[in-house]
Chains A and B, each alone.
Chain A
């Protein structure tokens, strides 16, 4: 599904990713862990098409297409979803309006009709229940006045409605207390399926207690320096990042 090959990328002349390789197959859940400044957020931004990054070397293919050549909205329409570390507020635009506009943009891209208002409402209410959210959230402006936990839950709600193929979770656990973390994790787990892949980016092991990854990778200084199964996360937690940073040098 996703094949990252020798990816070099930076911002304003500063190299951040320095030859990253990663392959994700359909249905797999990959966790990328790493210390601050390792390039975790850069990776999520480059994959989703945020402007301001220079790709100096390497390639990313997504479902056989050159991902880096696609506009951000086309990546989204083709199923790449980024759950933001810091979701923005959009005053005046209700959650439900955004969800409907986004879903219809994606459907249109795939040659489908716009979803009927009644069907849409039924669909969204279903997903809201899944994430244990109050229906009132749908009618509030996007993320405006939401708590940190509510914003993260709202991101997962969007994923649940838009049904992406590749879901990138950028530090989804940051700023969440344990209760909120459980709800978000339950939401993510309910989205797991044979043809949907996940790339979880996190600093801490604790998220992985709730969302069990198939693979764990350690990112340090712009490269993946170690890969393994879930046990790698525990080892990392015990030994600290200095353990792998030493190996990277």
Chain B
């Protein structure tokens, strides 16, 4: 009879199903980064002049900055000159005018990933922007959205079609010099999604962007900007995958959200970048800056993330609650297995009166993984009656992993109420045996217990994604007992 502890060891670590590579002719820059590369990048994208200035300013700032080292992470040094900053599938003409002109190989790739872009097979009720390496290759339902007044397009396209709008908001939530990776992103970002919901519009469908890194030795630097004007509502989701490669690849994205009076943005992420193999070789470095500003009164931003992939995840989707009565929410499941590391959490900055924030974080560690929750709740003197509730739970699978919690609280307003609850638990051998005695395999038992643990977060996800997220957790934990 093998012991349950060994079983837990074995259950973790199943093959990554999105690890295939698409063979395509690409246009890829030589590795390296200098002002010339940025000029070429800006030119190839046919950007307005202000954008080049923006990039160069960010680059000059970045050169003076040092990589931060405060996180609870072990990161191999990154050689920024060894990365290619642009890679795109070669196109016949400028850009595909319709989906019929998109390279069939690409359509096939997305189909394999379960994201059909074909006219006939599109996901009903979900508009998809597909970003492949450095460029957006297709956006579905654009026409239908336009009828509603919603702009949903690649940010590179928005820079051409709506330059004033982009210029008005870009970098106002995350300034170019905000942090090392945000500055790098500002200098070299290639594509991402742009969303504008006009006043009084409730976006008629879910918007989603699907990020895929394919090329070797490239970084993906995407930029997403979502503006919800007064009295509008939008739900946006992103998904991410990458091939299995032995080298670490850098993904340094910036996401900016702006919510005006009475507007609501719901932003969901299912992140499944390649996590590296079971010995910790390869995998994506996912270093992302995500921030929302609730600028208007009664505005609301809700971040929901399910992080199962990446060798290293380092991100803190945050809310700056400027408008009175504004609400910030953060719901997170971060699962780390094998040698994966995650240092993730949120920042809730209360500035307006009667602002409230809610944080629910569920960290799961298995194998030899390390999982850290790091969160900041800051209440400014101006934020009368601010409220925060934080719940931070960690679940350990096996006994070689670690969970850490670093909650920071800064309160300058005496009427504020800040609550923090934290628990750490372990899947016990008794729980596993109990489930097995009822006929479940050890794997199904772990998956069931983990899904139960994450329930409070999953219920915040749009339906289709909740199902995907559950399945993903199951796959990511396979091999952790057996």
Interface residues of A (CB under 8 A from B): 48-53, 71-73, 75-77, 81-82, 84, 87-88, 90-94, 97-98, 101-103, 105-106, 109, 141, 158, 162
Contact = CB atoms under 8 A, between A and B. Distances in A.
Contact of B449 (A49, A92, A158): A92
Contact of B441 (A51, A73, A162): A73
Given A50-B433, A73-B441, A92-B455, 13 more contacts: A49-B1, A51-B2, A52-B3, A71-B436, A84-B437, A88-B430, A91-B452, A92-B452, A97-B452, A98-B448, A106-B439, A109-B439, A162-B438
Nearest to A82: B437
B431 interface: yes
A102 B440 contact: yes
B444 interface: yes
B410 interface: no
Contacts of B453: 91-92
B34 interface: no
A75 to B, nearest CB: 8
Contact of B438 (A49, A51, A92, A98): A98
Nearest to B5: A51
Contacts of B1: 49, 51-53
A94 B455 CA distance: 11
* In the A-B complex, the 6 residue pairs with the closest CB atoms: A92-B452, A93-B452, A102-B438, A76-B439, A105-B439, A72-B436
A210 to B, nearest CB: 24
B429 interface: yes
A141 B448 CA distance: 12
B432 to A, nearest CB: 9
A90 B438 contact: no
A215 B326 CA distance: 70
Interface of B: 1-4, 425, 428-431, 433-442, 444, 448-449, 451-455
Main secondary structure of the interface of B (DSSP, over half): helix
A90 B431 contact: yes
B448 A93 contact: yes
Contacts of A91: 425, 452-453
Contact of A48 (B4, B429, B437): B437
A234 to B, nearest CB: 32
A139 to B, nearest CB: 12
* Candidate in A72, A88, A101 with the most chain B CB atoms within 10 angstroms: A72
A20 B326 CA distance: 70
Contacts of A81: 437
Contacts of A92: 449, 451-455
A141 B440 contact: no
Nearest to B362: A92
Contacts of A101: 440, 444, 448
Contacts of B429: 51
Given A93-B448, A105-B441, A141-B452, A88 B431 contact: yes
Nearest to B1: A51
B439 A162 contact: yes
Contact of A51 (B431, B433, B455): B433
B428 A51 contact: no
Contacts of A51: 1-4, 429, 433
A93 B437 contact: no
A76 B439 CA distance: 5
Contacts of B438: 76, 98, 102, 105, 158, 162
Given A73-B439, A102-B440, A105-B440, A84 B452 contact: no
Nearest to A94: B452
Nearest to A141: B452
Contacts of B2: 51
A93 B436 contact: no
A77 B3 contact: no
A90 B436 contact: no
Nearest to A80: B437
17 contacts: A49-B1, A49-B436, A51-B433, A73-B440, A75-B437, A76-B438, A88-B434, A92-B454, A92-B455, A94-B452, A101-B440, A102-B435, A102-B439, A105-B444, A109-B439, A158-B438, A162-B439
